[in-house]
Amino acid sequence: MKSLLALPLLAIAAPLYAEEIPTYTADEIVVTATRFLSQSQTSPFGIQVITREDIARSTATTIPELLSHFAGVKTRSNSGSPDAQIDMRGFGITGGQNTLVLLDGQRLSEIELVSPKWSAIPMDSIERIEILRSSGAVLYGGGATGGTINIITKMPKPDQREGFVSAGYGTYNTSELRAGGLIGSDNLSLALHANRYDSDNYRKNNEIAQENIEGDFRFTTENTQWALKFGADDQSLRLPGARTESQLQSDRRGTATPNDWSTRTGGHLNLNGSTRIGDAELTADLSYRERNAKASYAPGYSIETKVNVAAFNPRLKLGHTLLGQRNDLVLGLDLDDWDYNSKNTYSTSLASQKNQAFYFQNQTMLSTATRITLGGRLHQVESSVGTISQTKSPRAFELGLRHELSQGLALFAKLDQSFRIATVDENQFQISLLEPQTSHDREIGFEKRLAAGALRASLYQIRLNNEIAYLPSTLVPPFGANINLPPTQRQGLELAANWRATDTLDVFANYTYAEATFREGTYNGTDVTGKNVPLVPRHAMNLGASWRIAPTTNLGADAQYIGEQYFDNDQANTFGRKMSSYTVVNARLAHDVGPWRLAATVKNLFNEKYFSYAIKSGTTFSAYPAPDRTLFMSAEYRFK
């Protein structure tokens, strides 16, 4: 993969140009909340879209950082990997398994207890990111109880030709090379983006080297389009391990695991075909993805895991009239087949999962101002771990209403049911496989689009049965085990606003109030009724601004506040202490000089000492300390 960065340049050749710093736009955004192209204002539920302009203005350099700037989305690092865990709507340590992540509509979430490969997606390849809170189970299946995140990569267009190369260097010997380009003719088009990232990182024994490439080749006629999307990634990472409470004071950057390491390679291929016949749209995806990972943990333990999945996803959208009302009906099938092979120093684990599902979603225009959505999913999953097999048939449904009270002001409400199937790791060491987790969700909110901004507010409640969680080895010797918890609940309030204060100043703010509690029952023999689920801050807030100092100069800054939260492994809330709250401020200055863009980004401007993950053990705790202040500078050359 040493030549990844050179590939995008093969598709680029043209005169130079200078691109202006992007500014806020209130134009309608095309989204895929129905698995077909539609307008965001017609989305059945409160969808939020992060545009490429938002990405360009942001101080974020990774996808998890970017997502954490939005209401109801939290990140945590509990491994030393750049692939941080995403948690939507307060699921704590299982947030990653309750947030479904898609890449161009195809699953990026794994059937293991690992985070999606965020770092394998070049940021420059992203066109937009769609956030569907507490939604997605009907259209996409299990693991979407907290929400669905759909990353849409840039689509090459006919007669388009542009490209860039970039280099950057920063604190802790961090360097990055990036390149990308899009080129198109009347019928054929190609997009390629690649990057290489290297860093010693904040912690000792946490060096990383990573290479990625994403591509999209398209053939388009008047009513038909074929697209071949592909990508590959290669990562080498050292693993620093956690720090004890005393080590956080004496040697915050140190490591007790100087010989631990991991490697990962992977790739994906997706063939999509779509056509329009009258009022009907037909599209299908045939995809394959694989991941190969190795790790070594001293003393004398190593593991090698291979996972691959093949999927076929045909779907139909049909516009029709029923009882005099306009309807849009989506019908689809999801078929996928996972194979898992993991070999460690002492044993080998084989597992598989096959999913077959039929779903529908119908949107009815009751009037020009009112839209009702009804959807359902029949799902069958066959799981096998070692010699133990299980077949389950979970269901999902959704009922949503959206009503435009006036121009730009809409109310929305929804009821739905979702589910989650236990991962391969969660089903290890079980006499019988775990029951599927189920939830019943409800939400109400409003969206207000202004001439120079937008407001959004929502109230939600998620009531869960058989939530899947881990009991440590101190409770279930010798390795611990995963169980179905007694009934739990999430509920909260999310507020968000963005506003163009002047022609040169954009601001945003959001606030999240989240409660995650046990509705009833016991945990390890202790009554936990009304107790708080660990790793869920009650309060969180983001503030940010983007100031266009001059037509070619932009200064951006943001601040994130995360409130107190219970330590992991403190389900009974008896530890007597909580993880401290923290506030992190970031800033970025970008300036265009002809075809060049020069930028400097400062993370953790005020050098906050904090950690986003910690676990209690007896009377003390261990944590993964976050980096202190860092600086990264880059130069980008664009041509068109």
pTM higher than the cut 0.85: yes
* pLDDT given at position 88: 97
DSSP H or E run through 247: helix 245-250
What's CA 367's distance to the chain center, in Å? 35
* pLDDT given at position 4: 43
The CATH number that domain 4-639 falls under is 2.40.170.20
What does each C-alpha distance from 245 to 86, 134, 570, 616, 620 come to in angstroms? Answer: 25, 35, 16, 10, 7
* pLDDT given at position 47: 83
Q: What is the mean pLDDT of residues 459-468?
A: 97
* pLDDT given at position 20: 37
* Model confidence at 288: pLDDT above 60: yes
* pLDDT given at position 472: 73
Find out whether 576 and 564 touch, Cβ atoms under 8 Å: no
* Model confidence at 216: pLDDT above 80: yes
The size of the chain, in residues, is 640
Q: Residue 594, exposed/middle/buried by CB under 10 A (0-12, 13-18, 19+)?
A: exposed
Nearest residue to 163 via CA among 188, 144, 180: 180
- Which string of DSSP letters, residue by residue, matches 589-600? EEEEETTEEEEE
* pLDDT given at position 5: 43
> How far apart (Å, rounded) are the C-alpha atoms in residues 7 and 9?
5
Q: What is the mean pLDDT of residues 450-468?
A: 95
* Model confidence at 169: pLDDT above 50: yes
pLDDT digits over 534-589, tens only? 999 999 999 999 999 999 999 999 999 999 999 999 999 999 999 999 999 999 99
The three-state DSSP-derived secondary structure of 122-164 is CHHHEEEEEEEECCCHHHHCCCCCCEEEEEEECCCCCCCEEEE
> How far apart (Å, rounded) are the C-alpha atoms in residues 30 and 142?
25
The residue type found at 476 is V
Structure tokens at 631: 């600086």
Q: Worst-scoring range by mean pLDDT, 58-62, 79-83, 104-108?
A: 79-83
* pLDDT given at position 309: 97
What's CA 379's distance to the chain center, in Å? 23
Nearest residue to 425 via CA among 461, 393, 386: 386
Q: What is the mean pLDDT of residues 138-144?
A: 96
Structure tokens at 600: 């400097």
Q: Which of 168-172, 410-414, 425-429 has the highest mean pLDDT?
A: 168-172
Q: What is the mean pLDDT of residues 444-466?
A: 95
* pLDDT given at position 29: 63
pLDDT level of residue 28 (50, 70, 90 thresholds): low
pLDDT digits over 173-204, tens only? 999 999 999 999 889 999 999 999 999 999 99
pLDDT level of residue 132 (50, 70, 90 thresholds): very high
* pLDDT given at position 205: 97
Own/partner contacts of 183-186, CB < 8 Å, gap of 24 or more, are 183/11, 183/12, 183/156, 184/156, 184/157, 184/158, 184/159, 184/160, 184/218, 185/158, 185/159, 186/158, 186/159
Residue 22 gets which letter from DSSP? Answer: P
pLDDT level of residue 478 (50, 70, 90 thresholds): low
pLDDT level of residue 44 (50, 70, 90 thresholds): low
pLDDT level of residue 396 (50, 70, 90 thresholds): very high
pLDDT level of residue 39 (50, 70, 90 thresholds): confident
Structure tokens at 354: 């096959």
For the chain, give the mean pLDDT. 91
> How far apart (Å, rounded) are the C-alpha atoms in residues 196 and 236?
12
Q: Worst-scoring range by mean pLDDT, 10-24, 83-97, 560-574?
A: 10-24
> How far apart (Å, rounded) are the C-alpha atoms in residues 335 and 358?
9
